Structure 1
């Protein structure tokens, strides 16, 4: 007789999915506040779960960082799609770039910690960058077709400008300054008639 068929992988239980989401949300907050040095115990406490639950979902600090980063990129891609329906395409781009500032606040703390695992991190970053370029490109194309945005700027250049704006300062008020600079930048992308 043949061997037993391999057990079909069960879908995660609803409470397990809720716990994972609570951990990701807590990790985002804790890493934004405390950087890469923030303890995983602090993440578990913020999620109101035990440290064992955290390690069941994320066996390493790197796996937690990658999951947070992946979730944030997914949210930015989804936001770009939703903002594509905005009445004012320039405002949609402005809002999307502003949402990136929050993501960058979390990511600042994680980048240093992910550096020791360049192979797995590189694939994640390459895929994420491709998806973000496509997302911002869609918003830009919509504004360009509407005749309200310059056509001589590439999506990669907009992302590079965003990173320059967001990583240019590290003082306590950097996020407010970054949002103001995004306003100036987007105004500079407008097509002048």
Structure 2
């Protein structure tokens, strides 16, 4: 094979990879928009149409709607994971900073995330190494472990602490709290939720 032919093949491969990345991004963005605006009709054909791709192309990248939903959730959770890994903070300061980041993300992505909740329990998915829950684990492991140490909670309770976090800071519950917080400001509502989480951890340690 000539050098020119090799370069042409390499160039085609690069363009192919770029096409895959671009098309997947378009499908994820389209899925998020439809799940927010018209969740009852967020089918694969509707998502493909909104992404300006064929249904066959959509199914080539995501064989089931559930896989597309998981990929969408993962794309949001990666933001939290990367933010946590880059943070210079420690202890409760780290945890509370990441919570604020999470709530801000939910203001944009929460309504779509609510539509794609799993039917399986959190610990079951954690122990099965579910892709989405693994990303939750990776994003919150350091903040939660540092909170456990600061509050004097045994670190072997980490899985339960992560489960409690998932229950209290679930997108549906956060959305409900922010829209029904009464006289509390958003900051006060978040602070109250954080303190409730700390109380749960202390209760777990006492138990």
Report the TM-score range of the alignment, normalised by the length of the smaller protein. 0.5 to 0.7
Trace 1:43-122 onto structure 2 (pairs within 5 A): 43-82=47-86, 84-86=87-89, 88-99=93-104, 101=106, 103-111=109-117, 115=119, 122=125
| TM-score between both structures, scaled by the size of structure 2 | 0.59
What residue number does 2:191 align with?
183
The higher relative CO (CA closer than 8 Å, separation ≥ 6) is in 1
The Cα shift of 1:51 comes to 2.9
- Determine if contact 1:31/1:38 at 8 Å carries over to the other structure: yes
The Cα shift of 1:24 comes to 1.1
What residue number does 1:19 align with?
23
Q: CA RMSD in A?
A: 4.0
Alignment of 1:167 onto 2:183: no
What residue number does 2:45 align with?
41
* Cα distance in 2 between the residues matched to 1:59 and 1:155: 30
* Cα distance in 2 between the residues matched to 1:21 and 1:33: 18
| TM-score between both structures, scaled by the size of structure 1 | 0.62
The Cα shift of 1:129 comes to 2.9
Alignment of 1:140 onto 2:144: yes
* Cα distance in 1 between the residues matched to 2:78 and 2:27: 17
- Structure 1 or 2: larger helix share? 2
SS of the aligned residue for 2:53 comes to coil
Alpha carbons of 1:100 and 1:161: their partners in 2 closer, same or farther (altered >3 Å)? farther
The Cα shift of 1:73 comes to 3.2
* Cα distance in 1 between the residues matched to 2:177 and 2:53: 30
Number of positions where the alignment pairs a residue of Structure 1 with one of Structure 2? 167
